[in-house]
Amino acid sequence: MIGSGNNKDCEEWFFDRIVRGRPVLIPGSGMHLTNIAHVRDLSSMLTLAVQNPAAASGHIFNCVSDRAVTLDGMARLCAKAAGTSVEIVHYDPKAVGVDAKKAFPFRNMHFYAEPRAAKEILGWSATTNLPEDLKERFEEYVKIGRDKKEMKFELDDKILESLKVPVAA
């Protein structure tokens, strides 16, 4: 989930590395699919369910975006939103001795669902656009000064060292 006020540190995780010229470390091949949904789309789906209790009753809705992106694709979209390029480094968490859950903000597997029931039963449709949403998020990121905040990347450095990739000073 992305959007202003969101407590998940997902796109910021990418921005933190990209703006500092650091590689983005992605466990596995980077080809795993995930949904990235904007809070505006998610809240519109929930609103439709509340406004239509007769239609929504007894149904389960996947409260997700209707588009998937690869993990590498997310890194590239974040770099594009920041107006720069990105170096992506893939690694095997077990081989480097790290817990991927602590080193990366997404699951290291396909994690995709579709909102078919919400579309068919509630008439929901997404109104946001991930590349544009990420540009908006990057503007907010810079506005709050996080791009200038001092950060340590100790786990990243451990992974890079084990891969024999030079660590940025």
131-152, pLDDT tens digit by residue? Answer: 999 999 999 999 999 999 999 9
Mean pLDDT of 109-126: 88
* Separation between Cα atoms, residue 122 and residue 159, nearest integer Å: 45
How confident is residue 125, by pLDDT bands cut at 50, 70 and 90? Answer: very high
Nearest to 25 by CA among 98, 112, 81, 110: 98
DSSP lists the bridge partners of residue 69 as: 34
Mean pLDDT of 105-133: 88
Per-residue pLDDT at 49 exceeds 80: yes
* Separation between Cα atoms, residue 20 and residue 33, nearest integer Å: 26
Mean pLDDT of 97-117: 85
What per-residue confidence (pLDDT) applies to 113? 82
Q: Work out the angle at residue 61's Cα, subtended by the Cα atoms of residues 101 and 34, and round it to the nearest 5 degrees.
A: 35
Strands 68-70 and 88-91: unpaired
What per-residue confidence (pLDDT) applies to 5? 73
Question: How much is the mean pLDDT over the chain?
Answer: 91
- Asked if residue 48 lies in contact with residue 145, where contact means CB atoms within 8 angstroms, the answer is no
What per-residue confidence (pLDDT) applies to 2? 83
Which comes out higher in pLDDT, residue 158 or 169? 158
What per-residue confidence (pLDDT) applies to 101? 86
* Separation between Cα atoms, residue 84 and residue 148, nearest integer Å: 16
How confident is residue 88, by pLDDT bands cut at 50, 70 and 90? Answer: very high
| pTM, full prediction | 0.89
Nearest to 89 by CA among 9, 6, 5, 168: 168
What per-residue confidence (pLDDT) applies to 168? 65
Domains of the chain: 10-163 (3.40.50.720)
